[in-house]
């Protein structure tokens, strides 16, 4: 470390790992950087509330002030989380604003009959479908319910970290139990998504499924 003039970016005396067997807290993780890089750290600290279920290491959250060109992300409609009953009700309201369909005898009537439902659908999408900037690393199987469960788990992790010096406090058992629930929910959601994907296979996507099975990388 002296040869490369490495500096410690993480503050001292930060618990970083809780042993799954003894429950003791230790500090095995270190964040080293060169001297000219140390000034770019704006934040370097542990993030106990973000500890994943069934893990022992505390995540380390670092923010560096670097001039990096950012790629632009497109905003898309998030159809995954649409409340379809509300969507259908709003679509009927928009459709009712147009004249009822009659027998089509002219080209003008045909164009109107085609444009009106399309406009009603566009208005409904704007009203009821939220826009999102979807990450390239987002999991296709991830759901809104899992996000809510993970948010609650993060709150328990933060409480656990604050009360780590009280091993008999109920938060320890509550955190362990809820982590197991989250882990089981993730496995179940992934399995259900995979089964749904297999049921909807066609001539094109069957080759994609074969690649997933023969080269199981990632989620």
pLDDT at 217: 64
Q: How far apart are CA 144 and CA 165, in angstroms?
A: 34
**Global confidence as pTM:** 0.54
Helix (H, G, I), strand (E, B) or coil at 64: strand
- With a pLDDT cut of 90, the percent of the chain lying above it is 31
With 0-12 / 13-18 / 19 or more C-beta atoms within 10 angstroms meaning exposed / middle / buried, residue 191 is: exposed
pLDDT at 162: 92
Q: Residues 76-95: what's their mean pLDDT?
A: 89
Q: How far apart are CA 52 and CA 14, in angstroms?
A: 18
pLDDT per position as a tens digit, 143-198:
889 999 999 999 999 999 999 889 899 999 999 999 999 999 999 999 999 898 88
From the centroid of its chain, how far is CA 107?
A: 48
pLDDT at 216: 67
Closest to 18 (Cα-Cα) out of 55, 46, 52: 55
pLDDT per position as a tens digit, 97-156:
888 878 888 888 888 888 888 999 999 999 999 888 766 677 888 888 999 999 999 999
> Counting every residue, how long is the chain?
219
Closest to 56 (Cα-Cα) out of 101, 23, 89: 23
Alpha helices in the chain, H assignment, sequence order: 35-38, 84-96, 107-128, 144-162, 170-199, 205-214
Flag whether pLDDT at 218 surpasses 70. Answer: no
Q: How far apart are CA 61 and CA 87, in angstroms?
A: 39
pLDDT at 136: 66
Alpha helices in 133-216, H assignment, sequence order: 144-162, 170-199, 205-214
pLDDT per position as a tens digit, 19-34:
888 888 888 888 888 8
Flag whether pLDDT at 219 surpasses 70. Answer: no
pLDDT at 189: 93
């Amino acid at each position: 470390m002296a040869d490369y003039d490495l500096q410690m970016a993480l503050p001292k005396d930060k618990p970083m790992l809780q042993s799954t067997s003894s429950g003791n807290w230790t500090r095995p993780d270190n964040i080293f950087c060169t001297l000219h890089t140390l000034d770019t750290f704006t934040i370097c600290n542990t993030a106990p509330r973000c500890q994943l279920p069934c893990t022992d290491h505390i995540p380390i959250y670092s923010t560096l002030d670097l001039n990096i060109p950012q790629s632009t992300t497109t905003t898309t409609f998030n159809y995954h989380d649409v409340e379809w009953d509300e969507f259908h009700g709003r679509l009927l309201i928009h459709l009712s604003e147009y004249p009822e369909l009659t027998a089509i005898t002219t080209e003008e009537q045909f164009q109107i009959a085609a444009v009106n439902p399309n406009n009603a659908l566009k208005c409904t999408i704007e009203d009821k479908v939220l826009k999102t900037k979807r990450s390239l690393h987002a999991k296709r199987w991830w759901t809104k319910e899992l996000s809510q469960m993970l948010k609650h788990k993060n709150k328990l992790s933060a409480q656990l970290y604050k009360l780590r010096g009280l091993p008999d406090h109920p938060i320890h058992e509550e955190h362990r139990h809820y982590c197991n629930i989250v882990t089981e929910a993730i496995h179940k959601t992934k399995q259900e998504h995979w089964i749904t994907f297999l049921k909807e296979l066609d001539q094109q996507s069957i080759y994609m499924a074969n690649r997933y099975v023969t080269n199981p990388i990632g989620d």
